[in-house]
Amino acid sequence: MNKNITIDMVIQCGEADGWEVRAERQGKCVIFEFYKFTPAGQNFGFSASMKGNCIDSLADDIEDYYEGFDPDYEASLWIGKDGHGLRGAPYHIMDIVADMEKAEEMVYGLLEAIREIV
């Protein structure tokens, strides 16, 4: 179903799921930025767009991000030359990967919440 929604509805939905949400209108498109701390305390974020106030387009964009999310690759961005976490990431690689797997679950939780907007 193609439901028309407002920016405020998306922001409220994201915030109810623990995300900080920012929105910027760009023509007929709205770019949402979602930020949330992972269980290990890393500031995690991503953006998704909604076209024409259509919640389905936003859900599709979040789903594309979720489907392309690779916890191993994301973890590799937080590993220093010494083989341990850097910039506030957990010290051990397995803990960084586990945290990125939790980030992936957070994105899925947001996707499910967005799909529930009436």
pLDDT of residue 1: 47
Q: What is the dihedral of CA 85, 36, 106, 8, to 10 degrees?
A: -160
Q: What is the dihedral of CA 27, 112, 64, 5, to 10 degrees?
A: -10
Name the nearest CA neighbour of 36 among 102, 117, 97.
102
Higher per-residue confidence, 89 vs 39: 39
pLDDT tens string 73-118: 999 998 999 989 888 788 999 999 999 999 999 999 999 999 998 6
Q: Which helix (H) or strand (E) holds 40?
A: none
Q: What is the CA radius of gyration of the chain?
A: 15
pTM across the whole model: 0.90
Which of the four pLDDT bands, split at 50, 70 and 90, describes residue 52?
Answer: confident
